[in-house]
C-alpha cells in the first residue's frame, strides 16, 4: 500500500515539476496553466462537447428511425412527398441558433486573447529552418534554441521536446511574445498556455500568456515548414521571481546580444 501511495505521489509531484507535455494515448487537452487556456478548455468541455454529442445522438436517432419506419417491407406503396415547409424552416433556424450560441463565447475568448494587457516582460521568437531564436529586447539577451538529439537526452528530458536553451519567464507575470520568421512560415504554439500564432516572414504577430504555476512547458512548431518541421520544439521554463533574476544575471553574460550578433555576422561572411 505504501509503495502505491509513493508511486502516485511521485507522479503527482513530477507532473507539477515538469508541468505538462503530450502523453501516450492522450485524448483531451493538456492541463491549463493560464487563464486563457482554462477559458478554452471550459468552452470545449462545457459547451461544445455537449452540443456535439446531442447533435450526434439526434442524427443517429433520425437515421435509425428512417431506416425502420420507411423500410420497403413496411411501405409497399412509397410516399410521394417532396417537401415539408415547417421541417425546412426548423432545420434552417435551429442550426443558426446553435451556431450563434457557440459563436458568442468563442468571440469573447478570441477578443480576450487579442487584447494584450500591460506586459511585465517582452520576448521575441523568430522561426528558422529548423530551430527557434529568442530575444529579450529589454535585457540585451539573444539566443538560439535547438532540439536536443535523442542520444544526448538526460533521464528527465522528453524526446523531441527538450532544447539546449530554454525560454525562462517568471510566474504570474504577463509575458508578451512577438513572433516572426526568417525564412518560411512557422507557428509558435504552447498548448498549456492556449497560445498559437503564425510566424510569418516580414511580419510580426503578437500574443501573450500569464503562467500560473512553476514548471517546464512544452510546445512545437505547428506550421509545416520543411523536412525538419517535427524537430523544432518550444520549451518554456516558468520560475519564481528570485530564480528569474538569477537566470537573467547569468543570461546577460552568456547570451550577450552584441557577442552573438557578431558571431552570426562572422559565420554569414564566411
Mean pLDDT of 196-221: 94
Pairing of strands 175-181, 121-128: parallel
Which of 12-26, 152-166, 232-246 ranks highest by mean pLDDT? 232-246
pLDDT at 8 over 90: no
Contact assessment for residue 214 and residue 240, using Cβ atoms and an 8 Å cutoff: yes
- Walk me through the domains of the chain, giving residue ranges and CATH numbers: 35-74+82-114 (no CATH), 121-269 (2.60.40.420)
Please write the tens of the pLDDT for every residue from 211-239: 999 999 999 999 999 999 999 999 999 99
pLDDT at 14 over 60: no
Instruction: Quote the pLDDT of residue 71.
Output: 85
Nearest residue to 203 via CA among 122, 129, 121, 124: 124
Instruction: Quote the pLDDT of residue 78.
Output: 78
Q: Helix (H, G, I), strand (E, B), or coil: what is residue 122? A: strand
Mean pLDDT of 35-57: 93
Looking at beta carbons, which pairs linking 253-257 to residues 24 or more positions away fall under 8 Å?
Answer: 254/143, 255/141, 255/142, 255/143, 255/165, 256/140, 256/141, 257/135, 257/140, 257/141, 257/142
Mean pLDDT of 139-166: 91
Instruction: Quote the pLDDT of residue 186.
Output: 96
pLDDT at 263 over 80: no
Q: Helix (H, G, I), strand (E, B), or coil: what is residue 47? A: helix
Omega before 93 within 30 of 0, i.e. cis? no
pLDDT at 1 over 80: no
More confidently predicted of 83 and 99: 99
pTM: 0.77
Mean pLDDT of 45-58: 94
pLDDT at 266 over 70: no
- In this structure, what C-alpha cell is assigned to residue 148? 536536443
Mean pLDDT of 16-42: 78
Q: How confident is the model at residue 23 (pLDDT cuts 50, 70, 90)?
A: confident
SS3 per residue for 147-190: ECCHHHCCCCCCCCCCECCCEEEECCCCEEEEEEECCCCEEEEE
Q: How confident is the model at residue 12 (pLDDT cuts 50, 70, 90)?
A: very low
Amino acid at each position: 500500500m505504501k509503495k502505491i501511495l509513493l508511486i502516485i505521489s511521485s507522479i503527482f509531484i513530477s507532473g507539477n515539476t515538469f508541468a505538462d507535455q503530450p502523453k501516450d494515448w492522450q485524448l483531451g487537452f493538456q492541463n491549463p496553466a493560464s487563464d486563457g487556456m482554462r477559458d478554452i478548455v471550459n468552452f470545449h468541455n462545457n459547451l461544445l462537447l455537449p452540443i456535439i454529442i446531442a447533435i450526434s445522438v439526434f442524427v443517429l436517432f433520425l437515421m435509425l428511425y428512417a431506416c425502420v419506419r420507411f423500410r420497403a417491407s413496411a411501405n409497399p406503396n412509397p410516399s410521394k412527398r417532396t417537401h415539408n415547409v415547417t421541417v425546412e424552416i426548423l432545420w434552417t433556424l435551429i442550426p443558426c441558433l446553435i451556431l450563434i450560441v457557440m459563436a458568442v463565447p468563442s468571440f469573447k475568448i478570441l477578443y480576450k486573447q487579442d487584447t494584450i494587457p500591460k506586459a511585465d516582460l517582452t520576448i521575441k521568437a523568430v522561426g528558422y529552418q529548423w530551430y527557434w531564436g529568442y530575444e529579450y529586447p529589454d535585457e540585451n539577451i539573444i539566443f538560439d534554441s535547438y532540439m536536443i538529439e535523442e542520444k544526448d537526452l538526460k533521464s528527465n528530458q522528453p524526446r523531441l521536446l527538450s532544447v539546449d536553451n530554454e525560454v525562462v519567464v517568471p510566474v504570474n507575470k504577463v509575458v508578451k511574445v512577438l513572433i516572426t520568421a526568417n525564412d518560411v512560415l512557422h507557428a509558435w504554439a504552447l498548448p498549456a498556455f492556449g497560445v498559437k500564432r503564425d510566424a510569418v516572414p516580414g511580419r510580426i504577430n503578437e500574443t501573450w500568456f500569464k503562467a500560473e504555476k512553476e514548471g517546464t512547458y512544452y510546445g512545437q512548431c505547428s506550421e509545416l515548414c520543411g523536412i525538419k518541421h517535427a524537430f523544432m520544439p518550444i520549451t518554456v521554463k516558468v520560475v519564481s521571481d528570485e530564480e528569474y533574476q538569477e537566470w537573467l544575471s547569468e543570461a546577460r553574460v552568456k547570451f550577450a546580444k552584441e557577442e552573438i550578433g557578431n558571431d552570426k555576422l562572422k559565420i554569414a561572411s564566411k
